[in-house]
Every structure is written in structure tokens, then in C-alpha cells.
Structure 1
Amino acid sequence: MAQKSKEIIYVGTYSQNNSKGIYVLEFDRENLTTTTVQTVHDKQNPTFLALHPNKQFLYAAYREGKDEKDETGTIVSYSIAPDTGKLSKINEVSSAGVSPCHISVDPTGNVVFLSHYQGGNLSTFKILETGGLSEVASFIQHTGKSVHANQTKAHMHSMIPSADGEWVYASDLGIDQILKYKVNLEKGTVDENPVIIKTTPGAGPRHFVFHPSLPFAYSLEELSNTVSIYSLDQTNGDLSPIGRINMLNDKLHSDYNAGADIHFSMDGRWLYASNRGQDNLVVYKVDQATGLLETQGHVPTGGIHPRNFKVDEKGALVFVANMETDNLAIFTLDSDTGMLKATGKNIEIPRPVFIDQLFIE
């Protein structure tokens, strides 16, 4: 008999409020409900996860070190059971830096990239044939500061690879820079002499995304609550700033705001960004000729302190991790308008930070 298709959701959390670490959930699309398949808690605070392009492996960035005296974090590699989505540990290695906050995998499936917020540094790892990881292959320390009170030192926040894996773009919130590193796919390393793209002082670049089909890139700036728009030179990977747009709803007052995450709709017509403070997602329409953005509206996230969110790969739903209210809120996505509508359905998870999705056919 043919295997019934399944949808699996992986959730990374802070180890607080009785969280059990990484949650592996089976998603019922018809009823918008989930069943817990597995929980995994190898270390404290598995806050960010990354799927391998072949969907056979998953990598988790844990804030806790390999032992009690280790101030650095730990990266754990897992194999994914092809029929259930369950995780089995392959190996673990030191993250080489303090407080890993973001992990990503190059699209060719050869390198893992890791960002450390507190340490202000980055590390890379070669992916082995088993799906496990080598010890650290590259480690680069950033230095400097900028004009905001939260920018007294470097704060690496994400590394996003180009579509061909040739480059990786490192967003450093503390020094207001996006650094373009050359990737050595064979060695699993990055070149130590990056091309530096300076952002607006006080912006705080946090997360970064490429348009799925057009030569444009977008930087979410946490401290200024803005999105900067770049044209992408596809011959050499260079970025050129072409615009910048506000994230906030002018009709709402909030003393604290901090931009968090940014993602495209599957068709590339709409761009979404999350804000902690106003606790909403801003919806942008993407001009398909110029790459510039037009604000369409703001959608309350159905909870407090939205961190990562996931645009459904089927194009119909959006899942938002509201960390302070311990819930993943589910929204429908109108592909004609780009707007989101609350379903009233929530997945109760303690301190959720990260969401990803796997389809088992």
C-alpha cells in the first residue's frame, strides 16, 4: 500500500515554561491541528534549526555548551526518519562561539553556517557524508560598534547563502554591516576578507532574504524597524542599496519595537516581516520590475513577541511563533491580496522561537 503523505512541523524553543526542547509535530491541514510525534532535548535552548536541502537531516543550534564549563554553544546533527519525521542524533560539535542564535545550510548541502549574537562571531562546518558535522572549519570574529545603545560591540545575527552557494551574507546587528563572504564548498570554509556593505547607522541588520526569482535582496533592520532593499548583481553577488521602508503601523503606539523575521510568499509577490512590540506582521507588495515595496497593511500576530514565522510551502498558511504567549498562531494567506487572516487556531508550545516544515510523500 502506498504511504499516506504527512506534514511535519519542527519547532525550536527556549528551555523555559516546561518546554521539552525541539518539538516534532504532525500537522492536520484539514483541521489545522497537530499531534506531537516526538520531543528532543539534548541540551538547553535549541532556539534555531535548519533543514538540509535533501530533507534527510536537521541541524539544531543549542545555546548550552558540550559540558557545564563550556561557555560556547553546541550544534547537534540529526537524521530524519523518512516515514515519521522523527529525529535521531548523528553527532554534536562545539559551536565555537557564545550564544548561537541562527543556523543555516548552503543550498548545495555542503556547509553549515552559524551566527553568535553575544560573541559577535561566526563559524562554519563541513557536512560529512553521514549528515553529521565536522569540527569548526572557519571561525571569524567581528569587531566594532555603532550609534545605538545596543551596538556597543559586534552582534552577529544571521548568515544567508546565495542561491548557488558561492557566497554567504552575514548580518551583524552590532556594527551595522552586511558582510559578503566567499564560500569554499569543498572545505566548508569562508574567506576571511569579506566585501562589506555598510547599512544606515543605528539600523541593526538582523535577518536577510533573497527574492525567490528576481535579482533583489531585503534586510530586516531590528533597531530601526525598517527593511532595506538591495539590487543584486548576479555576476558577482554584490549588493547596491535602492530603497528603505518603515515596518511600523503609524496608528499604533508602542514604547518598544524590535523587528524580528522576514519571509516571502511562495510566488514572490508579497513580503512579510514581524515586529515585537506592536506584535504584528507587516505585509508588503513587491514591485516585480523595480523590487521596491509598498505597504499593504499590518496583521496582529495573535500573541506577544513574535519571533520567527513560516510561510507555508503550499502557499496557503502562515505560522507565527509568539514566544511570550507560548503559541504558534495559524493564518490563512490570500494570494490575490497578500493579506493574512487569523484562523483562531493555535498550537500551544512553550517559548517557541523557530518553525520549519517538512512534507513526507
Structure 2
Amino acid sequence: MKKSLCAIALMSMVTAAGAANAQSFVYVSNAASGTVTGYTLDKVAMKLEPIGRFPAGEGAMSSVVSADKKMLYVSIRSKPYHVAAFHILNDGKLEKAGDTPLPESMAYLSTDKRGHFLLSASYGGDLFSINRIGKNGLVETPPVQVVHTGKRAHAIQVDPSNHYLYVTLLGADQMLQFHFDQDTGKVTPNSPSFINIETEAATGPRHFVLAPKLDGQGKQNMYILTEMAGNIKRLTMNTNGTFTPQEDIVSVSPDDQKSMQRGEARPLTGDDNLPPTYKPRIWQADIHITPDGKFLYSTERTNSTLSSFSVDPTDGHLTYLRSIKTEKQPRGFAIDNSGRFLIESGQKSTQLSLYAIDKSSGKLTQLGQYPTDNGANWVSIVE
């Protein structure tokens, strides 16, 4: 009995020491500088500590961390289009591992749940690609499958079961629905093969998130951010892995809606080298949900705001809470796995904002701002 107690005590000490020494690394893609900047997230001191600046390639944008947390993959959206793979070292520094060609300029990267395949969607090429990831962590070529889509494929993800795959089409106002074979990496259309997202013309379904747990009715909720309508659409999963739209939630503040209606001009520049426009518009970018599923956040680029919502545990309904000003032309952000910190980047800013998330109210409190390179647009966290 004494030996058992000693063993339990020793195991507890080891576990506690491991938790105390566990590190969180933050990586930011900087398209204009062609770099990835790295930071350590100190959760005790509640600050970021710079690790270094790592060359990646002009147009470095979407990134994703491998399932085993050993690799970082970054989409390079300048020719020749490819994905850059980096080893994540113990101190958080990045070591270049290799480059793999991709069929097009890829706006969004993700992996399947087992980490065996890299999934990438091309906004400019109207397609998505599935590439196997080798045991050495490198992305392999040729792709397992390339699927041509409707206009402006933007985001691509699998569901928590790893059996279904979804792709939003920003230009077609649709979401494609597939069966995903986790052994071969290939997809086949589900039935129906797509759903219409629009409640009006040209809403632009962009990024989406799946709730981390089922709601009180046992339903899986999905939230799709519409780039141009100022809404978030809530959908629920059916037994065959397809989704049914449920409701639209207004996702920009009343003040922002009024300023756009007044026609206040703001010079804007978009992705894919689009020309600037002075037409006022809603221009949403990114969406994430806390690991406990209680709060959801989104960014809007025209007014440089970060908005927060509470999530009803009964049915997944969103309630708008507030919007705050953040980095100029906010593009991408990330939430740590404790749900206590949010890191946000801006394409027109050369610094990051670190926020604390109030666990009871969802309110964001800025803890600090930290230098990064030009064209910061994507944030990934390794924990």
C-alpha cells in the first residue's frame, strides 16, 4: 500500500511538473515580409515573448500545425505555389524541412483529425487539394485528389469524426458536403452534395467553425462567417453528415452598420492582389470558438473590429455581446486551448494584440501589443 501511495504521489509530481513546464508557441504568417514570426505565450505572466523571425516565402499566409505538434505547414501564395514545412524545435524555433508544390494559390490549410492528410482550398483556382503527409512529416506530391469546385473555394475542414469534409464557396454562396475516407484521403459527394448559404445575393460564406461539443439537444452546430453580409449562419448536422441551415445572427455592431449605410469611404485592399476599393462594405475575415464552446469571436476588416458572442448551451444560438477596435484590417486570430487568451493580427498593422478572455462573460481585455512583420494575416498556436 505504501509503495502504491508513493507511486501515485510521484506520478502526480511528474504530471504537475510537466504541466508547469508545458510551453505554448504562437506563429504568425506575414505575407508582405514573407516570414513567420514566433512567440512563446507565457500564461502565468500573461504575455508574449518573441522567439524569432523565420523566412518562409512571399505571400506566406494560411498555416496549420500537424496533429503530433511537431510540424508547421504554411501556404505560400506566390509562384511557384507551394506549402512550406517547418520542424517545431523544443525551444519553439522553426527549422525548414522542405517545400511541396500545390496545384494553386491556397487560401486555407487544415489537416484531417489523424494528421495523415493536408487539406487545402484555392480561392483563385476554384478547387481543393488533398495531399498525403508522410511519416517524416513532409507533404507528399502528387495530390491524392484534386477536386474542382464552384467559384471561390475558401475554407476546408473535416468534422470531429473524420468521416465528412466541408468546403465553403465564397463566390457561389454554397457549402460543399463530402464523405471523407480517412484511409485513402479521397472524398465522394454526400447527398445533398451542397447547400445554399445565402439569405441575400453575394453573402460570401468564408471561414467556419464546428462547435467543440454537442448542444443540449445532442446536435452538432456549425457557424459560417459570411464575408459580405455581416452575418454568422448557424447550421446543425444531420445523421448522414450533411448540414441544415437554422438561422442568421447579425455579427457587426449597430454603429458599424450605420457608418456603412452613411457611405463613409475607406480604402481597402483584399487578398489575391485585388485592386483597392473605396466602396464601403462589410468585410468579415475570421471566426473561432472557445474550447469550452461558451463564446465565439469574429473579425471585420472595414472597421477593424473584433466581435464577441455568447453560445446558448441548449441549442447553439448566438447572442451578440460587443465589438471592440483592434489591429488595423484584422485578418486572422487564434484562441489557446485553455480558452483564456486570444491573439489577433492585422494585415495593415505591424503588431499583434494579446487579449485575456473573461471565462464568465467572454469580455476581452487587451494585455499587450507585440511587434511582427508586414502583412500579418494568420495565427497558429502549438500547445
TM-score (norm 1): 0.87
> Does 2:159 match 1:162?
yes
Aligned to 1:250: 254
Residue 20 of structure 1 deviates from its aligned partner by: 5.2
> Does 2:322 match 1:297?
yes
Structure 2: runs of 5 or more not aligned: 1-13, 215-219, 261-279
SS at match of 1:251: helix
In the alignment, the residues of structure 1 paired with residue 65 and residue 181 of structure 2 have an alpha-carbon distance, to the nearest angstrom, of: 20
Is the 8 Å Cα contact of residues 223 and 259 (structure 1) preserved in structure 2? yes
Which range moved further: 221-230 or 175-184? 175-184
* Higher normalized helix content (fraction of residues): 2
Match of 1:309 among 310, 333, 338: 333
Structure 1: runs of 5 or more not aligned: 67-72, 144-153
Aligned to 1:229: 234
SS at match of 1:171: strand
Aligned to 1:88: 95
Residue 87 of structure 1 deviates from its aligned partner by: 2.4
In the alignment, the residues of structure 1 paired with residue 48 and residue 235 of structure 2 have an alpha-carbon distance, to the nearest angstrom, of: 38
Aligned to 2:67: 53
Which range moved further: 4-13 or 23-32? 23-32
In the alignment, the residues of structure 2 paired with residue 80 and residue 211 of structure 1 have an alpha-carbon distance, to the nearest angstrom, of: 28
In the alignment, the residues of structure 2 paired with residue 271 and residue 105 of structure 1 have an alpha-carbon distance, to the nearest angstrom, of: 22
In the alignment, the residues of structure 2 paired with residue 277 and residue 42 of structure 1 have an alpha-carbon distance, to the nearest angstrom, of: 28
Is the 8 Å Cα contact of residues 124 and 190 (structure 1) preserved in structure 2? no
Q: Identity of counterpart residues, as a percentage? A: 22
Give 2:78's aligned amino acid: E
In the alignment, the residues of structure 2 paired with residue 241 and residue 193 of structure 1 have an alpha-carbon distance, to the nearest angstrom, of: 16
In the alignment, the residues of structure 2 paired with residue 356 and residue 314 of structure 1 have an alpha-carbon distance, to the nearest angstrom, of: 15
Residue 183 of structure 1 deviates from its aligned partner by: 1.6
Q: Which has the larger radius of gyration?
A: 2
Is the 8 Å Cα contact of residues 65 and 94 (structure 1) preserved in structure 2? no
> Does 2:182 match 1:177?
no
SS at match of 1:223: coil
In the alignment, the residues of structure 2 paired with residue 91 and residue 193 of structure 1 have an alpha-carbon distance, to the nearest angstrom, of: 35
Is the 8 Å Cα contact of residues 173 and 205 (structure 1) preserved in structure 2? yes
> Does 2:286 match 1:261?
yes
Aligned to 1:101: 107
Is the 8 Å Cα contact of residues 114 and 159 (structure 1) preserved in structure 2? yes
Aligned to 2:359: 335
Residue 31 of structure 1 deviates from its aligned partner by: 4.3
Residue 40 of structure 1 deviates from its aligned partner by: 2.4
Is the 8 Å Cα contact of residues 190 and 242 (structure 2) preserved in structure 1? no
CA RMSD of aligned residues (A): 1.9
Please give the per-residue CA displacement for 1:74-106, whole angstroms capped at 9, x wherever unaligned.
Answer: 01222222x212223333221101x21110011
Give 2:349's aligned amino acid: T
Give 1:245's aligned amino acid: I
Structure 2 vs 1, CA of residues 224 and 41 (structure 1 numbering), >3 Å: closer, same or farther? same
SS at match of 2:125: coil
Structure 2 vs 1, CA of residues 33 and 270 (structure 1 numbering), >3 Å: closer, same or farther? closer
SS at match of 1:43: coil
Please give the per-residue CA displacement for 1:301-345, whole angstroms capped at 9, x wherever unaligned.
Answer: 2x21111111122222211111212221111111111111223x1
Aligned to 2:194: 196
Match of 1:37 among 40, 51, 56: 51
In the alignment, the residues of structure 1 paired with residue 317 and residue 346 of structure 2 have an alpha-carbon distance, to the nearest angstrom, of: 28
Aligned to 2:128: 122
